[in-house]
Structure 1
């Protein structure tokens, strides 16, 4: 890891909150036990309740040093420190409903050269490192300069975390083929996974009040799983079964993982895709920018959106008895595109936090996307 200090910003030294918050109780999977005799089955047993009832959990001991993780935050900071005019050169192709590249308020309003202080979210997405996507020349200098480091990081996460979790999910469903989900998330096959650097810029108190104390309203993610690398500024909240949002604690040495909609669909909705949101940080951190490093994982584009067959667990739970058979096959590629159309339409049309253009409350609406009924809270 020689040379990391050249760009390193000590973001990890940001003090944690001392506020007394209502923290969610989440299970922590120690992935170092995965390859031990009986290890992965024990992890599946440990995770079973969480994937069905909570949808959020932690993983630890995932084979990356804290220095390697911290360096990814420094790369993200370097990207967002670029002038707006430079970032806009690498804007996502929003007309094609793509997330890859830079997104921020100015991307959706091309003539805007300054940010609306209420809309304080920026992100930069990098797709998989395969021949299906442009190479480093398509990215800004901080990404180009660190291309090999980012690629190693992304592929290590895929092997050490994602593939192991996919095996554990198959074991939870008691599938005979423990590689069932791994095969459907093959790294070299075309899929819309992406690494995201994300920044929530601190806002003035009057702006926070106007935005109902939220950076991001309640929503579910559309893919298989989302990974959020630990950073110390609290903000993430998950909606519990009692109808209350609880804070997700940034536990040192962990990645926060949540189940998303596509994996929930593949499991016959046995796996819970939890509603979550990003709150304004607690008072002692409210003046801090909240930088994030995330992975959004999706099945390969050619995978069918259909419930896994021959799961003894789903059979016992009566899941197969309530399934409605689709008339036309639906691939993940089509599903992702249609969901992204829906997200772009309903998220970026919002004029006030929690409300649509006509001012209707958006706490829990339903829609049909590609023939699938979904609820959304954007």
Structure 2
């Protein structure tokens, strides 16, 4: 039998905290992935966001390209099909996407590395729906981080002042229909995420696969009311691999299914740009010696990785 990645009800964080934290922590130690339901995000909010994102991707290429920021590393606005390439991969991913970042004042100390958002005027409600979903997932992510902090012996609020100006990204993605057979490209090549945690909303379409510790690719098609949450490389590094950043991919569907588009909307939760990623002493032991003797800022790490995936 194929092993199953656990799904947990996050309402238990308030009603059955100790057991919930233990189960969630165990799921992440084993998989680096878990499903989260009971999150309270209305389906109408998710549907409304998907509607405006689909409307944007349906615009002519020339219109979409007006929202590309040259030299911006894809940080805001539009990134065209055929650009992003998984680290170490030969072939680009079969996708185009948009980036929404945190809204901050122009006089913020982070403005230089967190540029203003772009908003497509051609799609009514894009800003309202897009940034509304951003804020909702940011709050849910903070709750997941609180549970993970408790699991490794940190205060519940450990991450609060380290992510309150996090350089987090909401990424609506469009995977166009695949019209040729036997192509070497995948919709998203095998990769790990860069950030602390990723929240994937509307992940009920097939295609996402997670690599188990035994090297088996395990499909993770969640229920419609479930948000997939996985560990990123920054949290893996911070916790000295107690929480693994697991390799995953989006495969090309078979036959006629490949002729249909696929949409997904991950939220990449990042720390504040000046947060120093240094191995937590509580995660170092004789059995698990520190793997990272040198610390690095979140912004420095992000830029390093963006170059590796061809966005910079």
Pairwise TM-score range, normalised by the shorter structure: 0.7 to 0.9
Which residue is 2:108 aligned to?
A: none
| Distance (whole Å) between structure 1 residues aligned to residue 33 and residue 82 of structure 2 | 32
Cα RMSD after superposing both structures: 2.4
Is 1:122 aligned with 2:81?
Answer: no
Is 1:147 aligned with 2:123?
Answer: no
Question: Residues 207-222 of structure 1 correspond to what in structure 2 (within 5 A)?
Answer: 207-211=180-184, 214-222=186-194
Q: State the SS of the aligned residue for 1:294.
A: strand
More helix by proportion, 1 or 2? Answer: 1
Is 1:181 aligned with 2:159?
Answer: yes
* Per-residue Cα deviation, 1:133-167 (whole angstroms, up to 9, x for no partner): 5656x3212566332333232212212x1111111
Which residue is 2:78 aligned to?
A: 102
**Any conservation in 2 of the 1:58–1:256 contact (CA below 8 Å)?**
yes
Which residue is 2:293 aligned to?
A: 325
| Distance (whole Å) between structure 1 residues aligned to residue 232 and residue 151 of structure 2 | 16
Which residue is 1:52 aligned to?
A: 29
| Distance (whole Å) between structure 2 residues aligned to residue 150 and residue 96 of structure 1 | 20
**Any conservation in 2 of the 1:56–1:256 contact (CA below 8 Å)?**
yes
Q: State the SS of the aligned residue for 1:184.
A: helix
* Per-residue Cα deviation, 1:34-79 (whole angstroms, up to 9, x for no partner): 222xx33322111122211211110011121111111111111011
| Distance (whole Å) between structure 2 residues aligned to residue 231 and residue 223 of structure 1 | 19
Instruction: Flag the 1:80–1:24 CA change in 2: closer, same or farther, 3 A.
Output: farther
Correspondent of 1:70 among 25, 47, 50: 47
Instruction: Flag the 1:68–1:23 CA change in 2: closer, same or farther, 3 A.
Output: farther
* Per-residue Cα deviation, 1:211-253 (whole angstroms, up to 9, x for no partner): 26x3222111111111111244311111112212121113120
Question: Residues 156-305 of structure 1 correspond to what in structure 2 (within 5 A)?
Answer: 156-159=136-139, 161-175=140-154, 177-186=155-164, 189=165, 191-204=166-179, 207-211=180-184, 214-283=186-255, 285-305=257-277
**Any conservation in 2 of the 1:24–1:249 contact (CA below 8 Å)?**
no
Correspondent of 2:279 among 304, 307, 321: 307
Shift, 1:292, TM fit:
0.9
- The alignment's TM-score, normalised by the length of structure 2, stands at 0.87
* Per-residue Cα deviation, 1:321-340 (whole angstroms, up to 9, x for no partner): 444522xx521111111111
**Any conservation in 2 of the 1:215–1:280 contact (CA below 8 Å)?**
yes
Structure 1 spans left out of the alignment, 5+ residues: 1-21, 109-117, 349-378
* Per-residue Cα deviation, 1:297-349 (whole angstroms, up to 9, x for no partner): 1111111010123x2xx356743x444522xx52111111111112217xx9x
| Distance (whole Å) between structure 2 residues aligned to residue 323 and residue 228 of structure 1 | 29
Is 1:83 aligned with 2:60?
Answer: yes
Q: State the SS of the aligned residue for 2:303.
A: helix
* Per-residue Cα deviation, 1:80-119 (whole angstroms, up to 9, x for no partner): 01110010010144x24243211113779xxxxxxxxx86
Shift, 1:24, TM fit:
5.2
**Any conservation in 1 of the 2:21–2:150 contact (CA below 8 Å)?**
yes
